[in-house]
């Protein structure tokens, strides 16, 4: 399985700090924010990682992360000219993904929790062995503020909707997705 970290966006809610640097490069406790989603991929056993960012910010990620050998991973890099949705990450990463399954993680999220490592390994197995997608979510009281997953009667995600005025569930999509290789076809 391969991993993609989407590290774009302008971070306008963090101005003026993000006028000079990407929000994913800002420190959270003792390390740049992007180290946290990279750690999530590593916890899932993923060692081949593509970093996607803006033309302005990508050189900073390359300087910070290098080829990844100091972290025991391999980094590749790709420019996203302008924000065009999460699906564009798979278009930009098609060659990188090749015939592998893939995990997409947003570069400004921090994940934690009981049994999180086990849940990641299960998501990898579902993508690789069972050709199923796993979309991580979290129950929220104010779903109209988030991207929300809608479920069928069996608990299968059937749609995702961004900031709905009439939410179909209370489960917010948190920016961690596992897919088999068919994702590049859609």
- What is residue 77's predicted lDDT score, i.e. its pLDDT? 98
- What is residue 16's predicted lDDT score, i.e. its pLDDT? 82
Tell me, yes or no, whether 164 lies in a domain. Answer: no
Measuring CA to CA, which residue among 94, 118, 93 is closest to residue 5?
93
- Give 10-residue mean pLDDT values along the chain (186 residues): 91 79 92 97 98 95 98 98 87 95 95 93 93 92 94 90 93 95 81
As for how many domains the chain has, the answer is 1
Tell me, yes or no, whether 88 lies in a domain. Answer: yes
Which residue segment(s) compose the domain that 126 sits in? 2-135+174-185
Tell me, yes or no, whether 59 lies in a domain. Answer: yes
Within its chain, how far is the Cα of 126 from the centroid? 17
Asked if 39 and 84 count as a contact pair (C-beta separation under 8 A), the reply is no
Using DSSP's 3-state secondary structure scheme, residue 104 falls into strand
Tell me, yes or no, whether 153 lies in a domain. Answer: no
- What is residue 152's predicted lDDT score, i.e. its pLDDT? 92
Report the C-alpha gap between 9 and 69 in whole angstroms: 27
CA-based max dimension of the chain: 48
Tell me, yes or no, whether 10 lies in a domain. Answer: yes
- What is residue 63's predicted lDDT score, i.e. its pLDDT? 98
Supply 109's token pair.
């999220």
Supply 79's token pair.
């420019």
Tell me, yes or no, whether 51 lies in a domain. Answer: yes
Tell me, yes or no, whether 68 lies in a domain. Answer: yes
Classify residue 93 as left (phi > 0), alpha (psi -120 to 50) or beta.
alpha
Tell me, yes or no, whether 158 lies in a domain. Answer: no
- What is residue 10's predicted lDDT score, i.e. its pLDDT? 73
Using DSSP's 3-state secondary structure scheme, residue 132 falls into coil
CATH code for the domain in which residue 125 is found: 3.90.550.10
């Amino acid at each position: 399985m391969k991993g993609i970290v989407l590290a774009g966006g302008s971070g306008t809610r963090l101005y003026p700090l993000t006028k000079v640097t990407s929000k994913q490069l800002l420190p959270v406790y003792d390390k740049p924010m992007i180290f946290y989603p990279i750690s999530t991929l590593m916890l899932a056993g993923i060692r081949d990682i593509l970093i996607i960012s803006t033309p302005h910010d990508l050189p900073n990620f390359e300087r910070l992360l290098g080829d990844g050998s100091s972290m025991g991973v391999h980094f590749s890099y790709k420019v996203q000219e302008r924000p065009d949705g999460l699906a564009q990450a798979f278009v930009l990463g098609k060659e990188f993904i090749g015939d592998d399954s893939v995990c997409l993680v947003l570069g400004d999220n921090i994940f934690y929790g009981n049994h999180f490592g086990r849940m990641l390994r299960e998501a990898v197995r579902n993508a690789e062995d069972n050709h199923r997608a796993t979309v991580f979510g979290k129950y929220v009281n104010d779903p109209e503020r988030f991207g929300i997953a809608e479920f069928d009667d069996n608990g299968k995600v059937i749609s995702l909707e961004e900031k709905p005025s009439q939410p179909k569930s209370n489960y917010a999509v948190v920016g961690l997705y596992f897919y088999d290789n068919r994702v590049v076809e859609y």
